[in-house]
């Protein structure tokens, strides 16, 4: 099959995938990675269409432009991978490399050589795909994504990472062969030329698009599961989920030499914040408390939002003093993180008790709630133990 036929086939399939992926994956989810992959498909489609002008009067203009769009397509794939880790992307980051690819081709006699600016183009493509591979590996195995490696989403991301490794290695081989052997060598033409590259990209395009679509569906399921388990405002466990998990964890949370603490926390005068500053300010307070609660006490602690501004906590510690220090550190982080319009600093009242051996969770929570009531009656903004 000649290269023009391959490119037309690639363009048609890419065009179909753009429409299907946009309608089937992006519109239902509005997920950033779906949007970026749709953009990547579109850019590769435009690049392939531009290369169809090779051998015509349009080659001097469209060949360098095709290089630029191909690099932009690889960058968009990087953006899609980066979005899986919810890392920001700035549009201005994406302009220099495609412009460099266009410029390198434009100043290197593109009217007579379809590989004008070829080395710069191949190096840029390799770099973009390598960056994509890095983001996918971090998304699947990074320390900030500990649960993904065992999930369906984690398996799909690892499959995408493998596909990205293959295309990165291939483009690195193209760059090396182009430098050592030249674009006219038989090695380059048969192994790394436009025809084998188009076939590989076509296979990768279909495979990656299928994986992306499956990932989109799976992440919708994961998102619904997360919404059912976690309070969306604070990021803490919902009330029933907290009770279920804490009830199971309570008897075995502490290690030898440790004690298990159950605490109830309440934001002081929270209703006044909502009434005087508005519910948006109240939401900011709740978000700040959730952030400080999650980050201060670590993964062994179980936090739950029981309702409104009331929270419950179960964690293991070595002493009462250390438990109080942890809670006061959390309160300080919370107060540092929230900034209200009138300058007031929100406070927290906490009551905590030690869980007794064999004591059911409802009974422990009831005792912690009495300790919380004492903290309120003694003037609020304090930690009381009972």
Contact 39, 76 (CB under 8 A): yes
Mean pLDDT on 210-227: 66
Residues whose CB is less than 8 angstroms from the CB of residue 102 and which lie 6 or more positions away in sequence, other chains included: 64, 65, 67, 68
Mean pLDDT on 324-338: 91
Model confidence band, residue 212 (pLDDT cutoffs 50, 70, 90): low
Tell me which residue has tokens 């979005």: 83
Burial of residue 224, with CB atoms counted within 10 A of its CB: 0-12 exposed, 13-18 middle, 19 or more buried: exposed
Nearest to 76 by CA among 18, 4, 9: 18
Strand order in the sheet with 302-307: 237-238, 302-307, 310-317, 259-267, 348-354, 383-385
Q: What are phi and psi of 348, to 5 degrees?
A: -135, 140
Task: Indicate if the pLDDT at residue 214 is higher than 50.
Answer: yes
CA separation for the pair 331, 180 (Å, rounded): 63
CB contact burial 147-178 (16+ within 10 A = b; e otherwise): ebeebebbbbbbbbbebbbbbbebbbebbebb
138 is written with which tokens? 């971090």
350 is written with which tokens? 């906490």
Report pLDDT digits (tens) over 332-352.
999 998 888 888 899 999 999
Q: pTM value?
A: 0.59
Mean pLDDT on 112-125: 93
Which helix or strand (DSSP H or E) is residue 350 part of? strand 348-354
CA separation for the pair 137, 161 (Å, rounded): 6
If phi over 0 gives left and psi between -120 and 50 gives alpha, with beta otherwise, what is residue 355? Answer: beta
Mean pLDDT on 128-132: 95
Mean pLDDT on 238-263: 87
Q: Mind listing the domains of the chain with CATH numbers?
A: 3-229 (1.20.1070.10), 237-385 (3.30.70.270)
Contact 211, 161 (CB under 8 A): no
CA 66, 69, 71, 77 dihedral sign is negative
Nearest to 262 by CA among 297, 191, 208, 312: 312
32 CA to centre of own chain: 9
CA separation for the pair 241, 128 (Å, rounded): 42
Mean pLDDT on 203-207: 72
Report helix angle 59-83 to 96-106, nearest 10.
160
How is residue 98 annotated by DSSP?
Answer: H
Q: What is the structure's pLDDT at 150? A: 44
């Amino acid at each position: 099959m000649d290269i023009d036929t391959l490119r037309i086939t690639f363009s048609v399939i890419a065009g179909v995938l753009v429409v299907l992926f946009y309608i089937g994956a992006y519109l239902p989810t509005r997920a950033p990675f779906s949007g970026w992959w749709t953009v990547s498909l579109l850019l590769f489609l435009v690049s392939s269409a531009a290369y169809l002008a090779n051998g015509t009067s349009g080659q001097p203009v469209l060949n360098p432009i095709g290089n630029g769009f191909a690099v932009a397509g690889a960058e968009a794939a990087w953006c899609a991978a980066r979005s899986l880790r919810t890392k920001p992307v700035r549009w201005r980051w994406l302009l220099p490399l495609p412009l460099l690819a266009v410029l390198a081709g434009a100043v290197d006699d593109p009217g007579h050589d379809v590989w004008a600016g070829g080395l710069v183009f191949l190096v840029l493509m390799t770099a973009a795909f390598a960056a994509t591979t890095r983001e996918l590996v971090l998304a699947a195995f990074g320390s900030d994504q500990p649960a993904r490696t065992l999930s369906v989403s984690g398996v799909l991301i690892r499959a995408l990472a493998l596909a990205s490794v293959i295309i990165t290695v291939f483009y690195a081989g193209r760059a090396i062969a182009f430098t050592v052997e030249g674009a006219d060598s038989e090695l380059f033409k048969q192994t790394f030329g436009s025809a084998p590259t188009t076939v590989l990209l076509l296979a990768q395009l279909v495979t990656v698009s299928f994986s992306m679509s499956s990932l989109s569906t799976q992440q919708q399921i994961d998102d619904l599961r997360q919404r059912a388990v976690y309070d969306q405002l604070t990021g803490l466990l919902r009330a029933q989920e907290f009770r279920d998990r804490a009830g199971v964890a309570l008897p075995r949370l502490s290690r030898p030499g440790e004690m298990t603490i159950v605490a109830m926390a309440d934001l002081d005068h929270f209703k006044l914040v909502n009434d005087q500053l508005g519910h948006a300010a109240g939401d900011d307070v709740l978000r700040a408390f959730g952030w400080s609660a999650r980050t201060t006490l670590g993964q062994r602690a179980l936090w739950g939002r029981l309702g409104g501004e009331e929270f419950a906590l179960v964690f293991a510690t070595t002493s009462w003093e250390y438990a109080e220090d942890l809670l006061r550190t959390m309160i300080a982080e919370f107060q540092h993180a929230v900034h209200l319009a009138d300058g007031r600093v929100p406070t927290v009242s906490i009551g905590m008790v030690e869980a007794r051996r064999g004591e059911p969770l409802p009974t422990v929570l009831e005792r912690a709630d009495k300790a919380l009531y004492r903290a309120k009656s003694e003037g609020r903004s304090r930690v009381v133990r009972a």
